[in-house]
Structure 1
Amino acid sequence: MDVRTKSSLLWGVVGALSFLVLAQGYELLSGAGVSIVAKAGVALVVAVAATVLTYTAHGRLPGNESP
């Protein structure tokens, strides 16, 4: 697998998991329940958006420039 593709997919996973952690924290603090279907749907959208954005912006973002 290409390094660019693998990196983009991993950022998508990080985005989805970050959203799910924030949703769980919201539920714990507010007491309001959010359906599992809604959380899964939004997490999927976040994962796809993060993957596409990091794949397309790969050349424009500064990387690690240390030797």
Structure 2
Amino acid sequence: MDPRTKASLLWGMIGALSFLVLIQGYELLTGERLSFALKFAVAGCVGVAAAGSTYAAEPLVLGSNGRV
């Protein structure tokens, strides 16, 4: 697998898992409960958005040689 694709997918997973942690903290603090389907649907959207934006932004951030 291409390192750029792999890095983007990993950032997508980090984004989705971070959202799930944040929503769990929200539920613990407020006492309000959301359905599992809603949580995982939004986490999936967050993961796809994070992976896509990371894939698109990497050449802009790193430049042509792959270094900062």
**TM-score with structure 2 length normalisation?**
0.89
The runs of at least 4 consecutive aligned structure 1 residues that moved more than 6 Å come to: none
Residue aligned with 1:32, SS: coil
Across the two proteins, how many residue pairs are aligned to each other?
65
Task: State the shift of 1:61 in Å.
Answer: 1.6
Q: Which amino acid aligns with 1:9?
A: L
Question: Which has a greater percent of helix?
Answer: 2
Aligned to 1:16: 16
* 1:43-62 alignment runs, 5 A limit: 43-62=43-62
Among the aligned pairs, what percent are the same residue? 57
How big is the alpha-carbon RMSD for the aligned residues of Structure 1 and Structure 2? Answer: 1.3
Instruction: Give 1:60 deviation, angstroms.
Output: 1.1
Per the TM alignment, residue 64 of structure 1 is displaced from its structure 2 partner at its CA by 5.7
